[in-house]
Structure 1
Amino acid sequence: MHSIKLPSKPLSSPHPILNLSFRLFFSAAALFAVATMLLWAFVFTGHTDIDAQVLNPLYWHGHEMIYGYALAVVAGFLLTAVKTWTGVMMPHGYKLLGIFVCWLMARLSWLAFGLGVAIAGSSVWLLYAAALFDMLFIGAMAFVICRAVLQVKQYKQMGILAKLALLTLGNGLCYWGIISADMAITRVGIYLGFYLIIGLVLTIGRRVVPFFIERGLSGNGTDNVTLRNSKIQDIASLAFFFAFFMTDLFYPNKYLLTITALGVAVVNIIRLLGWYNRGIWQKPLLWSLYIAFLGICLSFLLYALQPWLGYQHSIAMHGLAIAGVGMMTVAMMTRVSLGHTGRSIHQPPRTVNVMYGLMVLVFISRVLLPLVDMSHYLAWIMVAQSAWIACFVLFCISYLPMLTRPRPDGLFG
């Protein structure tokens, strides 16, 4: 006798935003990007009661940009992409909501700390609560990804899992430094998290940027667009980047910093040249990714030159943050959100050009203009903050409706 396989129960969730992680986490990341930058503008100008004796306000900003905003985008992307890579269904519905609530509670605790809220006479309790929820969030995300990868034996994905483990370590160091009143440890935790995020961007970008360019140019009058990655470039990029971040974080020798940063820049510029196709300039979803990667390369050049030209280290660091985190995540979210909600990647909202232009303005105002005119440094920062906020407000207006509604084709996703 033949066994009869009954059809499995159709996937469902209480609301479309809980269908897949990209919907919930991209929406939350965009809203958080607006809220946290608005609050940072007040913290930066001294208009809040943040307890600077507990935590340096600069580290408050750095932590929330990395472990708040960037990690939300990473969660949205990975918990969606791993489903595609492995074929294993990722958390949706209330399970996804549970992971998200951990992220949300940590962010609310940090926002309250930034506002100067105190519990039992001290604001440090808010950071204890944030530590608990942050560890639960990263731990849950790493667990479901690890389970899926091991289930199908895709061991090539273990590098991403290793980076998630190190991100957990970096965040733990941040909280350890806060609890022990050691700002040096907190700094290590923040920079470790930052460079790990950049490492993830370089790793994932190496895969998806050429893939998106190939897909985006199909049917655009360009036949057989094939972009190849070189294994030698992959190894060289990884080796130079690892040496760079170890040097910058633990052994700030100007000769090593210049050599390693220049190595990362040159390898990835060569890679960009291999990815180039003039058709990308007709597709904002493509040129945005390309410009973001170019901004990363330029930022590494700024790191290489900084010891010799004497400008602030933070200029190069912010260049890498804006290009590698800000520009790249906006470019990825605008493209992924279209494809995974069943909409055409060839017909993005008209606002995307403005969004990308605003993010380029953030880079120019926060990184390039201070290099030539430090006398208006505060003004350049305020312009950059305003452009950042405007970019994500436009994202919310254009993309939240599609992220919170069912797919037009009726499929689950």
Structure 2
Amino acid sequence: MGADDNFKAFETKPVHLPFRPFFLVAVVDAVLGGSGWLPSAFGLQAFGPAGLSAGDWHRDMLLFGMVPAVLTGFLLTALPRWTGHRAVSPRTTHLLILSWACSRAGFLVVSPSLGLTFSSVWILALLSIAARAVIASRDRRDIKIVLLLAVFCASNGLVAASYQVELALRLALVSIISLVAIIGGRVVPALTVAYVESAGGRIVLSRSTPREYAAALATGSALCSWVVAPEAQLTGFACALAAFSQAARAAQWKGWRSLSSSTVLGLHIGYGWIVVGFGLLAIHIFAPAMLGQATAVHAWTIGAVGTMALAIMASMIRKHGRLAFRPSMPATCALAAMTSCCLSRLLIEALPAYFGLLASLSGALWIVAFGLFLLAYGRALSQVAVK
């Protein structure tokens, strides 16, 4: 699919847009997940289910709440265009939203395990919808998305059952970073071309097929090795190679041509955090006394996932709302706040004496970023068109 087909204006007749409710609930989960961390940064009791630590609250609300909400909204909207399969019905969207509501109610009122169980059901439903679309259209290119959703669903189930939790969390993170790399590899260069051409410029992206395959192989090998042997020297070499290959891949997309568009630039920055995460993970493995694993993980979760979530949601809203690349100060500030949030969290390793200050600053900036996003796009997301 070319850039023009990817980003042509949305039809004028009313249409069901699944991303609207899911992007809204993603913001809700993002704010709840960030808020849960703030009290504990100063040694206070965080709110949430009894017996759940602030870290677990923070992790579960974001990893198994916000992330699947963004994925659901994006994939339900994008897959029909990618596969040619019919779009999901409003009823299906409503049932998925009900699954999210049950997950939140179970998590907050009954127990975290019940909430995570409902979350597994929700992700399993998304998996079945994606698999049906991909299989029916014989879309081989998107089989990997279905497989990664299956891994993510399985990891959610393992955490819900409190079985091999550390392994399950690595599986979840690996599947998410892989999905970000795949989706980013389509959206980032296509939007870069669309933006430059909309501004009257010319741009040609020379994407090397061997380089793309090398990046995919190196990244897959590094992530699989990290899941199985997170501290092995071989994993460190694999991560260093993945960082180099992903940097070479991203350089093909000429991100410097999008400096005047915060949304497109945000996509490049978000993808760049994948490279940083691999590099930091390699440093941790070779010099664990110098750098903790949490630093690399947060480069991925805050930098890559958080930034890409904001930028991709903004891009989809703009596309379907006929906003094109119109500048938005709140949206620009949201991306700046997310970048500052990630840098604040990464500084904790270097300045452990300021843990409380930096952790609370990072959590506050995370909430500010999503609050500004809602300020920029809340009206567009609240509009309902279901025919």
Partner residue in 2 for 1:168: 153
Identity of counterpart residues, as a percentage?
24
Give the secondary structure class of the aligned counterpart of 1:227. Answer: coil
Matched residue type, 1:78:
L
Q: Deviations over 1:263-290 (max 9, x none)?
A: 1110111112211153311111111111
Distance in 2 between the 1:390 and 1:283 partners? 20
Partner residue in 2 for 1:36: 33
Matched residue type, 2:45:
H
Distance in 2 between the 1:210 and 1:232 partners? 17
Partner residue in 1 for 2:263: 285
Q: Indicate how the Cα distance of structure 1 residues 81 and 50 shifts in structure 2: closer, same or farther if over 3 A, else same.
A: closer
- Tell me whether 1:266 sits opposite 2:263 in the alignment: no
Matched residue type, 2:182:
T
Q: Which of 298, 320, 331 is matched with 1:352 structurally?
A: 331
Contact kept, 8 Å, 1:210 with 1:228, in 2: the verdict is no
Question: Which structure 2 residues correspond to residues 109-120 of structure 1 after superposition, within 5 A?
Answer: 109-110=106-107, 112=108
- Tell me whether 1:324 sits opposite 2:304 in the alignment: yes
Matched residue type, 2:193:
E
- Tell me whether 1:392 sits opposite 2:370 in the alignment: yes
Partner residue in 2 for 1:91: 88
How far has the Cα of 1:211 moved from its partner? 0.5
Contact kept, 8 Å, 2:18 with 2:73, in 1: the verdict is yes
Q: Indicate how the Cα distance of structure 1 residues 12 and 58 shifts in structure 2: closer, same or farther if over 3 A, else same.
A: same
Matched residue type, 1:47:
Q
Give the secondary structure class of the aligned counterpart of 1:153. Answer: coil
Q: Deviations over 1:127-181 (max 9, x none)?
A: 343244223211211122222222222122111111111111111111122xxxx
- Tell me whether 1:227 sits opposite 2:224 in the alignment: no
Matched residue type, 1:359:
M
Contact kept, 8 Å, 2:36 with 2:57, in 1: the verdict is no
Distance in 2 between the 1:301 and 1:158 partners? 28
State which drifts further: 138-147 or 389-398.
138-147
Distance in 1 between the 2:220 and 2:131 partners? 23
Distance in 2 between the 1:46 and 1:189 partners? 29
Distance in 1 between the 2:332 and 2:26 partners? 20
Q: Deviations over 1:282-320 (max 9, x none)?
A: 111111111111222112111111134422110111111
Distance in 2 between the 1:287 and 1:171 partners? 32
Distance in 1 between the 2:283 and 2:142 partners? 34
Distance in 2 between the 1:81 and 1:291 partners? 22
Partner residue in 2 for 1:144: 129
Unpaired runs of at least 5, structure 2: 1-11
Contact kept, 8 Å, 1:12 with 1:93, in 2: the verdict is no
Partner residue in 2 for 1:333: 313
Question: Which structure 2 residues correspond to residues 150-229 of structure 1 after superposition, within 5 A?
Answer: 150-177=135-162, 182=163, 185-223=164-202, 225-229=203-207
Q: How many residues align?
A: 373
Per the normalisation by structure 2, the TM-score is 0.89
Distance in 2 between the 1:278 and 1:325 partners? 21
Q: Deviations over 1:64-114 (max 9, x none)?
A: 22111111101111111101112323223232111111022212322x1xx
Contact kept, 8 Å, 2:177 with 2:274, in 1: the verdict is no
Q: Indicate how the Cα distance of structure 1 residues 199 and 64 shifts in structure 2: closer, same or farther if over 3 A, else same.
A: same
How far has the Cα of 1:229 moved from its partner? 3.1
State which drifts further: 310-319 or 89-98.
89-98
Q: Which of 86, 103, 123 is matched with 2:100 structurally?
A: 103
- Tell me whether 1:60 sits opposite 2:52 in the alignment: no
Matched residue type, 1:218:
E
How far has the Cα of 1:12 moved from its partner? 6.4
How far has the Cα of 1:246 moved from its partner? 2.8
Distance in 2 between the 1:235 and 1:169 partners? 27
Question: Which structure 2 residues correspond to residues 124-135 of structure 1 after superposition, within 5 A?
Answer: 126-135=111-120
Distance in 2 between the 1:392 and 1:29 partners? 9
Matched residue type, 1:22:
F
Q: Deviations over 1:30-67 (max 9, x none)?
A: 122112211232355441476786x5543332232211
Contact kept, 8 Å, 1:59 with 1:190, in 2: the verdict is no
Partner residue in 1 for 2:45: 47
How far has the Cα of 1:395 moved from its partner? 1.1
Distance in 2 between the 1:318 and 1:128 partners? 24
Partner residue in 1 for 2:293: 313
How far has the Cα of 1:365 moved from its partner? 0.4
Q: Deviations over 1:340-360 (max 9, x none)?
A: 22x222214221111111011
Contact kept, 8 Å, 2:64 with 2:156, in 1: the verdict is yes
Matched residue type, 2:120:
M
Q: CA RMSD in A?
A: 2.3
Contact kept, 8 Å, 1:191 with 1:249, in 2: the verdict is yes
Contact kept, 8 Å, 2:155 with 2:171, in 1: the verdict is yes
Per the normalisation by structure 1, the TM-score is 0.84
Partner residue in 2 for 1:301: 279
Partner residue in 2 for 1:122: none
Partner residue in 1 for 2:3: none
Contact kept, 8 Å, 2:148 with 2:179, in 1: the verdict is yes
Unpaired runs of at least 5, structure 1: 1-9, 14-18, 118-124
Identify the structure with bigger relative contact order (alpha carbons < 8 Å, sequence gap 6+).
2
